[in-house]
Structure 1
Amino acid sequence: MTDTSITAPADPPISGDDQHLRILSTTDLAGMDISLADVVATVEGAYRTLHAGRSDNPRKLTVKPPDGHSVSYAMLGRDGSRDVVAIKTSYKHGLDKGRAEQHYYTSLTLYDDRTGLPVALMDCSRIGSLRTPAVSALLARECAAPGARSALVIGTGTQGRLALPFLLTTLPDLDRLMLSGTHPEGIAAVREQLRDHFPDRDVELVDDLRAAATDADVLVATAGSHTPAAVEADWLKPGALSVLVGHGLAPSTLHRADRVIATSEAQMHITGLDMADADGELPAVDAEFPPVLAGSAAGRRSDTERIFAYNSGLVVTDIALGHRFAQLALAQGLGTEVPLWR
């Protein structure tokens, strides 16, 4: 496989003081320019550092009420290449309602483990919207069949809108880009993001999901929980790679896969239970992604294997990308310092 890895920029130490905390709002982060290649390199570096044993990424904690109307996560981690400790929290309310009625909040707090001082507290929504499709693109780079030329994205929400630009960043030879979605504003946003990053490319909106899935070398399922889309295993052609981010793949794509890759097997057993079989079981994972990325485990063993990849977020990637944004914010004088500990 051709080495298409990108070197991430070095992150110098950035700390606040023991009385103030720099707050980076949604608006602060939205105004920062960062290239797709920069994001991919930063995320890839975080995975490699984790595999080398220099970072810590414990299992996430989950709280969910009995009726399932909300879900909360807390993730603690340490990035060993940056010496940064961070806590990420996520809270989604209204899972029993439509997208417009849901509320979602996520934040990331960073501390410099060399100085012992805080770095920043930031809205983590943009970080997640970049980190997740970057991971899918890295999974595609490592696990797609050689010569993959077609990609299908299912869903037009936050995670679907940058899926194709990131895929083109790691697999520039893709020549057929397909989209399955039902929300007009989401479809328009997918096209806008693709034009922003690749002005000469366009996406084909598909109505027949089965036919599109049969033709796709790479499938990325990012749809919300209410989607009717559910690609079945027998729709997939030999060599297809299916990446699950949200919803859009039926459990058969996991249980009948020739090979299963997960960013984290432990997290898959927390957040992937909707893919369990009739007995509530998930199949064993053949390899986790950090060793695949590092070259110590195989992502793909043959051109005809149908591979299922589970993309669940690892907090070390949030830390790395959050620290990169904090670095850019400091250089641009963005954010508000709050005398939190005074």
Structure 2
Amino acid sequence: MATQDTAPHDGTLRVLSTSDLAGIDISLADVVDTVEGAYRTLHAGLSDNPRKLTVKPQDGHSVSYAMLGRDGTRNVVAIKTSYKHGLDKGRDEQHYYTALTLYDDVTGLPVAMMDCSRIGSLRTPAVSALLARECAAPGARSALVIGTGTQGRLALPFLLTTLPDLDRLMLFGTHAEGIAAVRAQLSTYFPGRDVEVVTDLRAAAADADVIVATAGAHTPAAVESTWLKPGALSILVGHGLAPSTLHQADRVIATSEAQMNVTGTDMADSEGKLPAVDTEFPPVIAGLTAGRHSGKERIFAYNSGLVVTDIALGHRFAQLALAQGLGTEVPLWQ
């Protein structure tokens, strides 16, 4: 699908702000379908998703990423930048900025530049939900989310979108406002459902069929491999899992092994090494590789995010924004 319907033809750039994107209504199922389609296109060889570039000062107080990609279905080229400052400080003192710029590869014109925070807050839990759908043990009924930040708040609604039979929902968090936000989001998308806030992390992990670790770097949570039940699926988004869950897993899956080797160094062993993955996720989504081989396998999945999923979801938002007349056109190159 070409993007002439979203690209301005006078050389201006449509800028979509945080508030513009906040007003766009999109269903969780729409997000999941869009992200899944991006994975299928990538596996088919129609998209390009090069390894991300990373810049980090020696003292580790900030980190920056740049990600270039091309969506071959939408004929869109894009670059995403991400900058986080204050990693040595508490959550309230940190600054985070991320932006996505889209170009129409048919017309050669810019489509839009947008704040990418909402796109990331939707894309990442959607990927975790897809990982859970493909890799959770048959009959999975319990899920544990670790962390109540941006990624933790939509983790359960997305999990229920792909695994509707989950009947025990658990949450481990240390911030009261974050716990309240998780409950509010769950109630918004699934009225009548509630989450059980747990304090005994080991006991909760031992009962969980699916664990999604989204916590920040300062979390006290560190689930060990020996705590996990047979068949458990552990998905790492941020922090909350000890390296043993990776190194002692029966099967390791990554959205991208190259990106795991860049951003997953905190999970390295005593020699600074990460194990090889058994499969990347795109061929699993395409149905060419099994998510799991038995109900007893303990599976570790690394969700680092791929820029092609940001491109697909960003383009979807650009379409919806244009239909609603949202955004500001800036004559950047005039």
1:167 to 147, 150, 159: 159
In structure 1, what is the Cα distance between the partners aligned to 2:4 and 2:16?
19
Residue in structure 2 matching 1:288, options 280, 283, 299: 280
2:175 pairs with one of 166, 180, 183: 183
- 1:110 maps to what in 2? 102
Q: Distance in 1 between matches of 2:282 and 2:238?
A: 20
Q: How far did residue 18 of structure 1 move? A: 4.4
- 2:187 is aligned, of 167, 183, 195, to 195
- State the partner residue of 1:44: 36
SS at match of 1:296: coil
Q: Does the Cα contact within 8 Å between 1:18 and 1:118 map onto a contact in 2?
A: no
Q: Residue deviations 1:180-227, cap 9 Å, x none?
A: 001000000000000000002000000100000000000000000000
2:212 paired residue number: 220
Over 3 Å counting, the alpha-carbon distance change for 1:12 and 1:135 in structure 2 is: farther
1:328 counterpart = 2:320 = yes
Q: Distance in 2 between matches of 1:312 and 1:57?
A: 13
CA distance in 2, matches of 1:229, 1:11: 44
Equivalent residue number for residue 71 of structure 2 = 79
Q: Deviations over 1:30-67 (max 9, x none)?
A: 01000000000000000000000000000000000111
| Aligned pair partner of 1:67 in 51, 54, 59 | 59
Alignment of 1:22-33 (within 5 A): 22-33=14-25
- Superposition TM-score, scaled by structure 1 size: 0.96
Matched, 1:35 2:27: yes
Determine the structure 1 residue equivalent to 2:120: 128
Q: What displacement does 1:96 show? A: 0.5
Identity of aligned residues (%): 84
The offset of 1:17, in angstroms, is 2.5
- Aligned residue for 1:97? 89
The answer on 1:155 being equivalent to 2:147 is: yes
- Please list every run of 5 or more consecutive structure 2 residues that lacks an aligned counterpart in the other structure: none
Residue 273 of structure 1 and its aligned partner are, at CA, apart by 0.2
Secondary structure of the residue aligned to 2:235 is strand
Residues 1:339 and 2:312 are matched in the alignment: no
Instruction: Report the residue type matching 2:260 in the other structure.
Output: M
Which residue pairs with 1:241 in the alignment? 233
Letter of the structure 2 residue corresponding to residue 233 of structure 1: S
Which residue in the other structure is 2:258 paired with?
266
Q: Could you report, residue by residue, the CA deviation over 1:72-117 in whole angstroms, capped at 9, with x for unpaired residues? A: 0000000000000000000000000000000000000000101111
Q: What is the RMSD of the two structures over their aligned residues, measured on CA atoms?
A: 1.1
Alignment of 1:200-215 (within 5 A): 200-215=192-207
Question: Within 2, Cα distance between the matches of 1:240 and 1:284?
Answer: 20
* Contiguous gaps of at least 5 residues in structure 1: 1-8
Deviations 1:119-173 (A, max 9, x none): 0000000000000000000000000000000000000000000000000000000
Q: 1:38 to 1:203 in 2, by over 3 A?
A: same
Q: Is the 8 A contact 1:111 1:120 kept in 2?
A: yes
Instruction: Name the CA distance, whole Å, in 2 between partners of 1:250 and 1:202.
Output: 27
Letter of the 1:322 counterpart: G
Amino acid at match of 1:225: A
AA at the equivalent of 1:253: T
Moved beyond 4 Å, runs of 4+: 9-12
